[in-house]
Amino acid sequence: MTNWAGNVALRPSHLAYPATETEIQNLVLKAANQGQKIRVIGTGHSFTDLCKTEQTLVSLDRYQGLVAVDRAKGQATVKGGTKLKLLGELLWGEGLAMENLGDIDVQSIAGTISTGTHGTGTAFGTISTQVVALKFCNGKGEIKRCSPAEFPDLFKAAQVSLGALGIITEVTLRCVPSYKLLIKNRKEELDSVLGSIGERNRQNRNFEYYWFPYTQTVWTKTTNVVESGEPDRDNYFNYLSELILENYSFKALCELARMFPSQNKLVSRITAQSVPTMDKLSHSHKVFATTRLVKFKEMEYNVPAAAYPEVMRAVIRLVNSEQFAIHFPIENRWVKGDDIFMSPAYGRDSAYIACHVYSKKDSSPYFEALESIFRAYGGRPHWGKLHTLTQREVADAYPKFAEFDRIRKTQDPDGIFLNAYLKKILDQ
């Protein structure tokens, strides 16, 4: 097995697919009693070694679905393994929706929140901020419940936990009545976008953009709620365009740039030219989800929103210096600050800058150069994406690290959920 990108090989001695909470609990108890390690995997879309183990790996693929809906409160409780696509459909059937989503919908809800996955929009926090209660099986095999009212500190630790506190069995989400969104894809000028980011974020529900290296071209995506209009009207055209432009043609260009590194600039320019002017109107859970067939490696850093213009200027200078043979566009998104201990957006309104490299190429020199820029501005890495931080650096970047650490040790005193990667970033 590998993760989605293929950069992490997974070789567990035992792969378990529990179908009930009791089966999950028994797996944890067995590992704890035998002094073994245990990890849980969602859809394997993280780029780091988070899910790696030589012993038991638990998948909740057979533990999906709706547990309860509280219409009066607008809340829904779902099983931890539920994939976002299914979750969106189940909520829609109840007249509900999640207030915001990221770029794809194949992740599990527990995997999504455990790394602080996010979308874009200055009015919205990471997806973990939509969680109002959690249930998980800790390292002692105990089933724990937490929420802002019941064990609030445990809740703040569990909202983004990197799978280090236990196996999340249920997630209760604050939902909103179902709604439709219109997303507008446009080709625009970098300088004009950089000069109007504040305005675009204020005037639109969701704004993000991709910058194509060595060019003045950006692909903007601007999304707003619409009351009228036929959902999915343009789906066939959108699907074809997404499949051909964003995937098959792009893959061919990635191969060209890999074989002829001097052609990266040309490839970036060609890709920039093919940015579609395209609108898509659909139910909220379908609008953001894109198909990603071209495999890449990714690093994404959270930086304070106030520092974004300066950080992005430094990134543009570095990329345009042509020290690195890269061509993938750089993605820029905005997220509201939160109070979750290990959330990259802890305590600050944030911008996220994501850099990608074709999966068959070495990403290290490029990512390390960018990482030093991000870190110079107080950057914090997305927990599902590549970075080089060690425990000391994580502790420095996260004001609530000590509290998270204390809670982790009470929930998993024998460290059965710790693998080598988590030891490096969490364990002193």
Ligand X SMILES: Cc1cc2nc3c(=O)[nH]c(=O)nc-3n(C[C@H](O)[C@H](O)[C@H](O)COP(=O)(O)OP(=O)(O)OC[C@H]3O[C@@H](n4cnc5c(N)ncnc54)[C@H](O)[C@@H]3O)c2cc1C
Residues contacting 201, CB < 8 A, separation 6+: 121, 122, 207, 334
Per CB under 6 A, contacts with ligand X among 43-62 are: 43-46, 50-51, 60
Count of chain residues binding ligand X (CB under 6 A): 32
- Which residues face 250 on adjacent strands? none
* d(C-alpha 143, C-alpha 22), whole Å: 10
Q: Are the CB atoms for 136 and 35 separated by under 8 Å?
A: no
* d(C-alpha 76, C-alpha 335), whole Å: 23
Q: Binding ligand X by CB under 6 A: which of 146, 384, 405, 408? A: 384
Site for ligand X contains 118 (CB under 6 A): yes
* d(C-alpha 224, C-alpha 129), whole Å: 21
61-100 footprint of ligand X as x/- string (CB under 6 A): -------------------x--------------------
Least distance in Å: CB of 268 to ligand X? 20
Per CB under 6 A, contacts with ligand X among 168-197 are: 168
Residue 53: both structure tokens together: 């183990």
Applying CB under 6 A, the span of 35-43, 69-77, 186-194, 225-233 interacting with ligand X comes to 35-43
251 membership: H or E segment, kind and range:
helix 249-259
| Half-sphere exposure at residue 396, Cβ-oriented, CA atoms within 13 angstroms | 9
Nearer to ligand X, 214 or 332 (CB): 332
* d(C-alpha 392, C-alpha 61), whole Å: 35
Least distance in Å: CB of 261 to ligand X? 24
Nearer to ligand X, 86 or 214 (CB): 86
Least distance in Å: CB of 317 to ligand X? 26
Least distance in Å: CB of 292 to ligand X? 4
| Half-sphere exposure at residue 385, Cβ-oriented, CA atoms within 13 angstroms | 23
Nearer to ligand X, 154 or 167 (CB): 167
Site for ligand X contains 163 (CB under 6 A): yes
Nearer to ligand X, 214 or 327 (CB): 327
Three-state DSSP class for 406?
helix
Applying CB under 6 A, the span of 115-123, 194-202, 252-260, 372-380 interacting with ligand X comes to 115-123
Site for ligand X contains 284 (CB under 6 A): no
Per CB under 6 A, contacts with ligand X among 402-421 are: none
Site for ligand X contains 299 (CB under 6 A): no
Least distance in Å: CB of 83 to ligand X? 8
Q: Binding ligand X by CB under 6 A: which of 102, 139, 213, 344? A: 102
Query: Going by DSSP bridges, is the β-strand pair 217-226/180-189 parallel, antiparallel, or unpaired?
Result: antiparallel
Nearer to ligand X, 44 or 329 (CB): 44
Site for ligand X contains 344 (CB under 6 A): no
Site for ligand X contains 139 (CB under 6 A): no
Residues contacting 362, CB < 8 A, separation 6+: none
* DSSP string for residues in 51-74: G--SSEEEE-TTS-SEEEEETTTT
* d(C-alpha 59, C-alpha 134), whole Å: 18
Q: Binding ligand X by CB under 6 A: which of 38, 40, 281, 307? A: 40
Least distance in Å: CB of 154 to ligand X? 14
Task: Label residue 224 left, alpha or beta by phi (over 0 means left) and psi (-120 to 50 means alpha).
Answer: beta
* d(C-alpha 279, C-alpha 293), whole Å: 21
Count of CB atoms situated within 10 Å of the CB of 248: 12
Question: What is the tally of helices (H) and strands (E) in the chain?
Answer: 15, 18
Site for ligand X contains 4 (CB under 6 A): yes
Positions touching ligand X (CB under 6 A) are 4, 39-46, 50-51, 60, 80, 102-104, 107-108, 110-112, 114-115, 117-118, 162-163, 167-168, 292, 382, 384
